[in-house]
Amino acid sequence: MKKRCFAVMAAAVMGLSFLTGCTGEAKNEDVKPETTDNIVSDPDNTDRKDVNTENPAENTDDNTDKATDTPENNTLDNEEKNRTDNLTKSDNNADNTDNLISVGFAQVGHESAWRMAATTCAQETFSESKGYNLVFVDADNNPETQKEAVRSFIEQRLDYIVIDPIVTYGWNEVLKEAKAQNIPVFLIDRTIDCDDSLYVAWFGSDFEGEGEAAGAWLQTYLEAKGRQDEEINIVTIAGTIGSAAQLGRTRGFGKYLNSNTNWTRLEEKDGMFTEEDGKKVMKEFLDSYDNKIDVVICHNDNEAWGAMEALDEAGISYGVNGDVIIVSFDAVHDGLKRVLDGKINADFECNPLSAPYVADAINDMENGKKVKKKINYIDEGCFQAEDIVTRIEYGKKTMRMLTVTEKMLEERAY
């Protein structure tokens, strides 16, 4: 991979000064996320569509015949001059692009506020001003589209590839193709099931830990409310079935379902991480279980907003002092606003600002250094509406519960 000197210098400067909202420290772990067992998945989903990629059209008209000096030909002269100027600008832009580090980013889609924050951060991090040429593809939650996008990055011989995988399975073949072309691959947010020699590093959230944190909070919260011996009926609006986030959060929370014999998970359904599907699934739960639901677990804030709409329409109270406890994940700004308003009882952060960590790793590689860790967890917080649970303990971790304030919202980067 041929690089220009100033691109490396720009990448080094980038490591010191990210744009506002793209900051934070990553926690490094040596332990690879465990293989998922007995979790709902959908490996047989065959409703796919191929990516439609087009090569920019090339202007090959090199004719520059001179015209006689007439009004009509003056117009032709001006058009020819504009065409030539545009070709010159295109050539200059191509030269400028050659001086940049090229990065292909295959994003999941645009299904949530969290996802849009992650995309914005990546676009800011891998900007031309920081020495990068970013080739961005929104896969619109279609796994095959995403894999074809990665193949297009390989065909373009980009310097690096970044993937936020839609699903965990089916990645070995395309990653082997990238490795054969000596193109380093980084994973962010979600993990995949593959030979870990096929990618350089992963940066993202401890999804199983998030699920455990939610279970630990609910257990402690019910104890504080004197409800630890009650029969608690729980429904889960899951994220995209088969995604690392869905699998990890379901597995983590499941540990507390198993240890609390008075808890019953009535059902788990796919809410696709969207408000629309969250509302649809919540309506189905209400039709099936009437007033028997005590807790709704939503795998992201958008699903929680949809669930709240369905509960509002059914005339069922929720949140602080409500009939239904709502637990959510992501903790984006608007999600925490609902926590502050007492609509969501607790929200567990999934940090979307992982792109700067990838940029740091690329900068290391550009300078001949090795990326130290394969698995890199990003710092995340736990938030609640009531100042009732001081801290939670799960596994070997102790986490402080943060009660949301107006000041906290004002200082929120996303």
pLDDT in tens, 189-201: 998 999 999 999 9
**Helix/strand number for the chain, H first, E second:** 12, 15
User: Residue 262 and residue 187: Cα distance in Å, rounded?
Assistant: 39
Please, what is the average pLDDT of the chain?
83
d(CA 123, CA 368): 25
Written as one string, the DSSP assignment of 280-343 is HHHHHHHHHHTT---EEEESSHHHHHHHHHHHHHHT--BSTTSSBEEEEEE--HHHHHHHHTTS
Question: How confident is the model at residue 57, as a pLDDT?
Answer: 36
The Cα–Cα gap between 386 and 320 comes to 8
Q: Identity (one letter) of the amino acid at 268? A: E
What pTM did the predictor assign?
0.71
First to last CA, the chain: 35
The answer to whether the beta carbons of residues 167 and 143 sit under 8 Å apart is: yes
pLDDT score of 362 more than 50? yes
What is the β-pairing status of strands 263-270 and 295-298? unpaired
Give dist(CA 46, CA 42) in Å, integer: 10
Structure tokens at 399: 């986490």
| pLDDT confidence bin for 50, thresholds 50/70/90 | very low
What architecture is the 5-27+96-205+353-378 domain classified under in CATH? 3-Layer(aba) Sandwich (3.40)
**Which tokens belong to 160?**
């690096």
CB-based contact 414:356 (threshold 8 Å): no
Any residues with CB less than 8 A from the CB of 71 and at least 6 apart, and which?
none
Burial profile 263-291: b = 16 or more Cβ within 10 angstroms, e = fewer: bebeebbbbbbbbebbbbbbbebbeeeee
Cα torsion angle, 403, 404, 407, 411, sign: positive
Q: Who contacts 143 (Cβ-Cβ below 8 Å, separation ≥6)? A: 45, 48, 166, 167, 170
pLDDT, position 47: 36
Give the dihedral of Cα atoms 205, 195, 271, 392; nearest 10 deg: -30
- For residue 109, pLDDT over 50 is answered with yes
Classify each residue of 110-149 as buried b or exposed e, where b means 16 or more C-beta atoms within 10 Å of its C-beta. Answer: ebbbbbbbbbbbbbbbbbeebbbbbbebbbebbbbbbbbb
Residue 113's pLDDT band (cuts 50, 70, 90): confident
pLDDT, tens only, 282-291:
999 999 998 8
Torsion of CA 360, 361, 367, 371, to 10 degrees: 140
pLDDT class for 257, splitting at 50, 70, 90? very high
Alpha-carbon distance of 276 to 327, in angstroms, equals 18
CATH of range 207-350+381-410; options 3.50.50.100, 1.10.10.10, 3.40.50.2300, 3.30.420.40: 3.40.50.2300
Cβ distance 240 to 273 under 8 Å?
A: yes
CA–chain centroid gap for 346, Å, is: 20
Residues of the chain with CATH 3.40.50.2300: 5-27+96-205+353-378, 207-350+381-410
Sign of CA dihedral 348, 354, 356, 362: positive
Closest CA to 285 of 275, 270, 272: 270
**pLDDT tens per residue across span 59-79:** 333 333 333 333 333 433 444
Mean pLDDT of 230-237: 98
pLDDT in tens, 370-380: 999 999 999 89
pLDDT over 60 (residue 7): no
DSSP secondary structure letters along 77-110:
HHHHHHHHHHHHHHHHHHHHHHTSEEEEEEE--S
CB 86 within 8 A of CB 57: no
Residue 361: strand, helix, or coil: helix
Give residue-wise pLDDT tens across range 115-144.
999 999 999 999 999 999 999 999 999 999
pLDDT at 97: 64
Reported as a pLDDT band with limits 50, 70 and 90, residue 413 is confident
pLDDT in tens, 142-187: 999 999 999 999 999 999 999 999 999 999 999 999 999 999 999 9
The residue among 339, 341, 353 whose CA lies nearest residue 384 is 339
